[in-house]
Structure 1
Amino acid sequence: MKAKVEYDVTDGVAVISISNPPVNALSDEVRQGLFDAFERADADDHVGAIVLSAKGRTFPAGADAREFGRPRAAPTLADVCARIEACQKPVLAAIHGHALGSGFELALACHYRIALQDATLGLPEVNLGVLPGGGGTQRLPRITGANAALDLMITGKPITAQRGGDLGLIDKVIQKNLDRAARLSAGNMIAQNSPPRPTCSRDDGLSNPGAYTQAVNSWRTRVKGNFVPSVRAIVDCVEAALLLPFDAGIALERKCFDDCETGDEATALRHAFFAERRTAKLAELEGATPRSISSIGIMGAGGMGADIATACLDAGLLVIIVDSDDDGLARGGQRIKDIYEKSVSKGRMGQAAAADRLSRLRGTTDVTSLSKVDLVIETMSEDAAVKHDVFAQLDKIMRPGAILATNTSHLDSDALAAATSRPQDVVGYHFFAPAHITKLIEVVVGDQTHRDVAATGFALAAMLGKVAVRAGASDGFIGNRVLAAYRQAADFMLEDGANPAQIDGAMRAYGFALGPYQVLDMTGLDTAWKRGKHYQATCDREERYVAIRDRMCDEGWLGQKTGRGFYVHGHALGPVENDDALGIIEDERRRKSIIPRPFTDDDIRARCLNAMANEGARLLDEGVASRPSDIDVVMMYGYGFPRFRGGPMMSADQRGLLAVRNALKSYQPDAPDFWTPSRLFDELIKNGRHFSDLNGG
């Protein structure tokens, strides 16, 4: 078996190379190999300088993900970094690809650093609810000072090698021939008798204690309300780099890392990390070959159609957008141009790149122009009859093997497939607004959808830089069904004694950016109103129905677009509660003879979260969702569920399934059908299992 760490000495230069594809993750075997190699090089009288490099496409891009949340075998990353830094011979890191997380901490422990110009550097541990654990919080600010170090670690965003050079992190940025340049630099160090330069002894970034302290205090204020403990711990550790001896700072970093790693937030963030990577691992897609996609048609030039077209143009595809009239087509085309002009003005894209994208856009009112495209996505209004007619028309026009996709948010894709002679080619690709930004696509697989068509959805998502989640054909699919349960639970509490601002505040305190009624005001109450009328027409007459939103829409209070909804908008200090809406709520209570009762914020959160978990369990039981973690991904990426909570199913696991089931039963007198626990709870509880046990590998 090939060694994961290779050792070679030529002309007095020891080259220690990591070889652990695909991303040279720092597994326990790699760490041991590095520790042994540096021991060997330091003791070798024939070695005058050491180069640390990596084979393949990247410098180490992080730790071994399989070790997250588990005890590490010795030597730890901190041990390896300390051993590198203690070398009595100069150590040069040769960086290419992505030096991220523990990989960048290795580089920081080296005495000097050289990098290719397209390399990136970063410490993104905060995204997993932890902080750098190999000395990064102590070494980084000794070079850059507090502000740059905190920015790098708290945002988790990588920087370019050039920016690293500006900050003093990279000693030399080169364009090519990294190995040759590294060996040459190491040879020059030997010739010039260059000494080691341990980062722990540097004080470049500590030279102005006043500015350093001011930066720490500023960041501490900025992150005061952050829900993730590791963010605040990073500030404490960076402060310690100035106030404590290096070894004491390292000890504090280790304690903070251990405390954060075992917390609920880090557990949830690790769950989110793995859940996203698991979505495409489906037995039904094994052996399926995605169909080739180079051209896409968009039916409908409205906001969603234009945004989907933009996402496809960004992916390098040819896009033909079709609308029924020239004015609609012009508005859609202008929306796309405005998106690119804004990107250029903000420096996110060059003028040439924007021009290239627009050169691949075609607009027409002639639907027959779609006859040769590989895939069409219709984005017409949520009207089954309209979409049925569109699919029947596309069926006659499009070439054999082309995919017919609907972007419906809740309609039955199987019914649309029945309008065609090729139901195997019909699928739902449910984008989320704004489609050129939001990272999620639900791939809605119908009864007759071919496996290759489903697989194409995942391939298309990858092309667009998005995450695809498989959903079965169902009213609302995964996301909108869970959202409806969330809103239903909130509406019941609204009738029973809570008010919109209290419910919104309770859910913001849990980590949502906006509460459910703030979101309704932002997106428009009329959209939910139409869905409510559909539900009212089809539901069991014995089921409890809350008509508060219907009455508000009857008054023309549709939210931000009309200036009034659950809140009155346009005030200088922001939205204020709509007293007239509160009047409707009180009137509905009187009409139903409901005596208002108080709800604590904990009551509100429990009911909303338990409703989401219960609907998720039903989706699993019905086969609409493939696994609990898929539901979590949909809710995090499409509906703003706080990532550090891991999604509604992960959150239910953390609260305990028995406690959730018992709470659901206790709510049943309020709405028996809605609050009846899914049978999946009893099945899991009986066998001592959790939702996470259904996720697979």
Structure 2
Amino acid sequence: MTDKIHYRRDGDIAVLRIANPPVNALSQEVRAGLAAGMDRAEADTGVRAVLIVGDGRAFIAGADIREFGKPPQEPHLPDLCNRIEASPLIVVASLHGVSLGGGLEVALSANYRIAQPAARVGLPEVHLGLIPGAGGTQRLPRICGAKDAIGVITSGRHLGAPEALALGIIDEITENDPEEAGLLWTGSLLAEGAARRPVSELPGPAPLDWDAVYDEVLKKGRGQISPAAAVRAVQASSELPFIEGLAEERRIFNDLMQTDQRKGMIHAFFAERQVSSLPELKDVPARQVEEIGVVGGGTMGAGIATAALLAGLRVTLLETTQETAEAAGARIAGNVAGALKRGKITAEQKSRMLSEALLCDTRDAALSDADLVIEAVFEDMDIKREVFGRLDAVCKPGAVLATNTSYLDVNEIAAATSRPSDVIGLHFFSPAHVMKLLEVVVADKTADDVTATGFALGKRLGKTAVRSGVCEGFIGNRLLNTYRSAADHMVLDGASPFQIDSALQDFGFAMGPFAVSDLAGLDIAWAMRKRRAASRDPRDRVGRYADKLCEAGHFGQKTGEGFYLYEKDRRGGTANPRVIDLIEAERHDRGITPRSFTDAEIQRRYMAAMVNEGAKVLGEGIAGRPLDVDMVLIFGYGFPRYRGGPMKWADMTGLPEVLADIDRFAAEDAYFWSAAPLLRELVAQGRTFDDLNRDA
């Protein structure tokens, strides 16, 4: 026994209580303690059943993340689960909080399972590039069938107690304390003379069209292999005896352990937890924020207001006229109604948010009591400076003044006030009540407690907050501008926008860059190109074909035509032949002889541009750590999580190889393909971006 497992007798029931705060992770001590507890119970005269229950907040939240990447120690989890299931005693698991991954696998090795109403279960291993490796793919299908098991395992989602009950994963939902309820349930089983019920002895699930299911899951995963691998493991539960199925599960698990996808997803897992934790803010208290103001009630402003309402904040939204204020209120109401429909809030909460917590107004003075005000008006420096001058006049001392600008200089905006130390950038991504990324842009004079307040607000809103310094586009849009330029250059040189989109979807992006442009609106980038034209370096190769589309009034999805053609009530678009005509005309005017590109070359150039600009952002101190860049691209720009982010991808590809690509491309365009000094330095030193993460 270990001090992580408490053993006691209650009549003829032995209770094994897991005590490994805060969430009873399955550390080596817990595994050893459970195995020893089973031995003790079986040797304890008169014991007829074992109840396994968790202390504190959860039954078992899953593996101990402190053991990730280290050699596994005995007892291994598969052996523990088999040991529990092989017991001659009746074993009951009483679940509360979360029972995830190995936690659910332990529960599945018991004979019976009960749960609290708010309990949640799941097998989220696919989010780490793996499959359940302790019998989850063999036991779960025997309980709920192959189709439902595949749905649970390949999605990695959490199931509430009612759904788990309906699938047969648990036997009853109980209201009482987990241990008290478990003792009552176990006692009733003994009184009824219930038999042991090992899941391994249940028949395997009925077969499916395994190849069709595999292909469907692989396509849905956009190149992620672990969900599709899970299908093959579940197939083994149908086609093989239990012991052989366990061996096949373990073989697949071990194969996945060696993949770059597993490395990428483990990196993303830890980076997500580290990115919002800044050592320089460790002892800096955030300012109190309970009431916020939002200036501008368009799509972005309404989304920010919605996110704040859903987080329990009071919101005053400022618009220019009563008509636009009412329109903003309607947008917010629609967003909140969507949250109700998705089960995020109750009808009572929705009513209270809209009637008590939200005020839409046209008077600057309405913001006088706000603890923090976020400006979300048109992306124009003169307009933003005028707004901040007004905020400076009406907001109370100590109020944080935030701009949601996507590109503009936060220092210049702050200079429009008498309190630049209170000014910060909070760059949300649209729709702001859905997208998880928040860039916290720290200006030259931003006070530390204002920065801490930005991160505290991000946490309260459920965002992944990333610190950025001030430059045009900050981290995300600066990289976007660069890798999008690489795509434009390939179009000029012979690739089609449609081939590029397809190649990058094959790489794992949800959408290619040209489809994304159609979704965002081609007029946005067009306005930016016009704004930059006067200061643009003559060596910068900028295509004109997209301008021609815009000049004709074609702005993408919102007008029905862009790089693709869109039909009402039809999902997605079809390639616009007009675009090819415009591109060919421009190539002719520029004297460019087009050449062919392979999909692999498209992917390589796109990624090299992204990594190179990421290294420049790091070298300039705009981003503090490579993991910051990775999290921005994953949460804000659709970068495939299983690749870990662009900087992790570069490490796994090999920095010397990436630098060699950039130097080779520089022979064609030395201005664009200027290698980042930091990248050259790392290659010369034989170091990686991960080394910089560890140094931070």
SS of residue in 2 equivalent to 1:408: coil
Q: Report whether the alignment pairs 1:331 with 2:327.
A: yes
Per-residue Cα deviation, 1:253-297 (whole angstroms, up to 9, x for no partner) = 000111112211111111111111111221221211111111010
Q: Write the letter of the residue equivalent to 1:590.
A: H
The alpha-carbon distance between structure 1 residues 573 and 288, as it changes in their structure 2 partners (threshold 3 A), is closer
Map of 2:362 onto structure 1: 365
Q: Retained in 2: the 8 A contact 1:69–1:262?
A: no
Q: Report whether the alignment pairs 1:222 with 2:216.
A: yes
Q: Report whether the alignment pairs 1:663 with 2:661.
A: yes
Q: Write the letter of the residue equivalent to 1:589.
A: R
Shift of 1:182: 1.4
Q: Retained in 1: the 8 A contact 2:2–2:30?
A: no
Map of 2:379 onto structure 1: 382
Distance of 1:561 and 1:187 partners within structure 2: 64
Map of 2:489 onto structure 1: 492
Pairs aligned (count)? 691
Q: 1:233 aligns with which of 217, 229, 254?
A: 229
Q: Write the letter of the residue equivalent to 2:596.
A: P
Map of 2:577 onto structure 1: 579
**Which TM-score applies when normalising by structure 2?**
0.96
Map of 2:7 onto structure 1: 7
Map of 2:270 onto structure 1: 274
Shift of 1:551: 2.9
SS of residue in 2 equivalent to 1:673: coil
Map of 2:76 onto structure 1: 76
Map of 1:645 onto structure 2: 643
Shift of 1:375: 0.4
Distance of 1:344 and 1:634 partners within structure 2: 28
SS of residue in 1 equivalent to 2:264: helix
Map of 2:146 onto structure 1: 146
Distance of 1:544 and 1:147 partners within structure 2: 52
SS of residue in 2 equivalent to 1:321: strand
Shift of 1:218: 5.7
The alpha-carbon distance between structure 1 residues 685 and 149, as it changes in their structure 2 partners (threshold 3 A), is same
Q: Retained in 2: the 8 A contact 1:87–1:196?
A: no
Aligned Cα RMSD in Å? 1.8
Q: Write the letter of the residue equivalent to 2:176.
A: K
Distance of 1:689 and 1:302 partners within structure 2: 46
Map of 1:260 onto structure 2: 256
Map of 1:476 onto structure 2: 473
Worse overlay, 541-550 or 560-569: 541-550
Map of 2:546 onto structure 1: 549
Q: Report whether the alignment pairs 1:355 with 2:351.
A: yes
Q: 2:527 aligns with which of 527, 530, 552?
A: 530
SS of residue in 1 equivalent to 2:402: strand
Map of 1:403 onto structure 2: 400
| Structure 2 residue ranges without an equivalent (≥5) | none
1:447-462 matches, cutoff 5 A: 447-462=444-459
Per-residue Cα deviation, 1:158-191 (whole angstroms, up to 9, x for no partner) = 1112222222221221112221121233334444
Distance of 2:605 and 2:215 partners within structure 1: 33
1:180-191 matches, cutoff 5 A: 180-191=180-191
Q: Write the letter of the residue equivalent to 1:312.
A: A
Map of 1:95 onto structure 2: 95
The alpha-carbon distance between structure 1 residues 119 and 188, as it changes in their structure 2 partners (threshold 3 A), is same
Distance of 1:36 and 1:416 partners within structure 2: 64
Distance of 1:659 and 1:345 partners within structure 2: 49
SS of residue in 1 equivalent to 2:672: helix
Distance of 1:242 and 1:617 partners within structure 2: 49
Per-residue Cα deviation, 1:313-332 (whole angstroms, up to 9, x for no partner) = 10111100001112211211
Shift of 1:56: 1.1
Distance of 1:233 and 1:501 partners within structure 2: 30
Distance of 1:443 and 1:355 partners within structure 2: 31
Distance of 1:536 and 1:84 partners within structure 2: 70
Shift of 1:423: 0.8
SS of residue in 1 equivalent to 2:671: helix
The alpha-carbon distance between structure 1 residues 512 and 427, as it changes in their structure 2 partners (threshold 3 A), is same
Shift of 1:349: 4.1
Distance of 1:371 and 1:185 partners within structure 2: 58
Shift of 1:575: 2.6
Q: Write the letter of the residue equivalent to 1:452.
A: D
Map of 1:169 onto structure 2: 169
Distance of 2:343 and 2:448 partners within structure 1: 41
Distance of 2:279 and 2:572 partners within structure 1: 49
Worse overlay, 230-239 or 376-385: 230-239
Map of 1:26 onto structure 2: 26
Per-residue Cα deviation, 1:461-508 (whole angstroms, up to 9, x for no partner) = 111111100000111000001111111000111111111111111111
Q: Retained in 2: the 8 A contact 1:108–1:140?
A: yes
Q: Report whether the alignment pairs 1:37 with 2:37.
A: yes
| Structure 1 residue ranges without an equivalent (≥5) | none
Worse overlay, 351-360 or 623-632: 351-360
Distance of 1:160 and 1:344 partners within structure 2: 17
SS of residue in 2 equivalent to 1:228: coil
SS of residue in 1 equivalent to 2:21: coil
Map of 1:157 onto structure 2: 157
Worse overlay, 316-325 or 329-338: 329-338
Q: Retained in 1: the 8 A contact 2:643–2:649?
A: yes
The alpha-carbon distance between structure 1 residues 54 and 186, as it changes in their structure 2 partners (threshold 3 A), is same
Map of 2:605 onto structure 1: 607
Distance of 2:653 and 2:215 partners within structure 1: 31
Q: Retained in 1: the 8 A contact 2:155–2:227?
A: no
Q: Retained in 2: the 8 A contact 1:146–1:215?
A: no
Distance of 1:412 and 1:529 partners within structure 2: 20
Identity of aligned residues (%): 45
Distance of 1:216 and 1:53 partners within structure 2: 37
Map of 1:680 onto structure 2: 678
Q: Write the letter of the residue equivalent to 2:427.
A: H
The alpha-carbon distance between structure 1 residues 155 and 669, as it changes in their structure 2 partners (threshold 3 A), is same
Distance of 1:182 and 1:590 partners within structure 2: 78
